[in-house]
Structure 1
Amino acid sequence: MWLLLLLPCVRADSRCKSDLISSINITAKLQSDILLPCNFELTLFKSDMTADIASVWRESPCKSELVLSLNVTTALQSDVLLPCNFSPGLIGLNTTADIAAVWSHRNMTVNNLVEITLQGQTMYWKNYNRQIKTFSSVSASGNFSILLRNVTQSDEGLYQCDLFNGTGCRIAYQEMHLRFDDSPADGFLTWLVTAGALGGGVVLLVFLITIYICAKRSTNSSNESVSRELYPPEVPHDAVEYTLENPIYDAAVQSETHSSFRAEKGNSAETAVYTAVKKVKRKERKPEEVQ
Structure 2
Amino acid sequence: MKRFGRCFSAVWMLCGCFLVYVKGHKVCQQKLISRVSFSTELQSDVLLPCLFEAALFRSNLTTKSSAVWTQINTTVHSIVVIPVNDQPKFWNDRHGRIKAFSYKSANFSIMIRDVQRSDLGLYRCELFRESNCSLGYREISLTLVEFSLLQNWQLIVAGGGGLLLLCLITVCVYCARMKRESDHCAVRSGPTVDEMTYTTVVYKALLFHGSP
**2:27 maps to which of 50, 61, 76:** 61
> Deviations for 1:165-216, whole angstroms, at most 9, x for unmatched residues?
01111001000000012567xx99xx9xxxxxxxxxxxxxxxxxxxxxxxxx
Task: Report the Cα distance in structure 1 between the residues aligned to 2:60 and 2:18, rounded to whole angstroms.
Answer: 26
Structure 2: segments with no counterpart, 5+ residues = 160-212
In structure 2, the CA distance between the partners of 1:129 and 1:90, relative to structure 1 (3 Å rule), is farther
Contact 1:164 1:172 in 2 (8 A): yes
The correspondence of residues 43-122 of structure 1 with structure 2, limited to 5 A, is 53=18, 56-57=21-22, 60-93=26-59, 97-122=63-88
Partner of 2:127: 163
Q: State the SS of the aligned residue for 1:70.
A: strand
Residue 9 of structure 1 is matched in structure 2 by: 6
User: Aligned to 1:142, which of 66, 88, 106?
Assistant: 106
Normalised TM-score (structure 1): 0.45
Does residue 130 (structure 1) correspond to residue 127 (structure 2)? The answer is no
Segments of 5+ residues of structure 1 without an aligned counterpart are 18-48, 192-291
* TM-score (ref. length: structure 2): 0.60
CA distance in 1, matches of 2:86, 2:95: 15
RMSD value, Cα: 3.2
Tell me which residue corresponds to 1:179.
143
1:127 to 1:73, Cα distance in 2 relative to 1, 3 A: closer
Distance 2:89 2:97 in 1: 14
Pair member with larger Rg: 1
Q: Which has the higher contact order (CA 8 A, sep 6+)?
A: 2
The within-5 A match list for 1:111-260 is 111-128=77-94, 130-136=96-102, 139-182=103-146
Instruction: Specify which structure has the higher proportion of strand.
Output: 2
Contact 1:134/1:147, CA 8 A, preserved across alignment: yes
Letter in 1 for 2:140: M
How far apart are residue 164 of structure 1 and its match?
0.2
Give the count of matched residue pairs: 150
Percent identity of paired positions between Structure 1 and Structure 2? 33
- Cα distance per residue 1:198-237 (max 9 Å; x no partner): xxxxxxxxxxxxxxxxxxxxxxxxxxxxxxxxxxxxxxxx
CA–CA separation in structure 2 for the residues paired with 1:77 and 1:115: 25
Matches of 1:127 and 1:95, distance apart in 2 = 26
Bigger shift: 174-183 or 161-170? 174-183
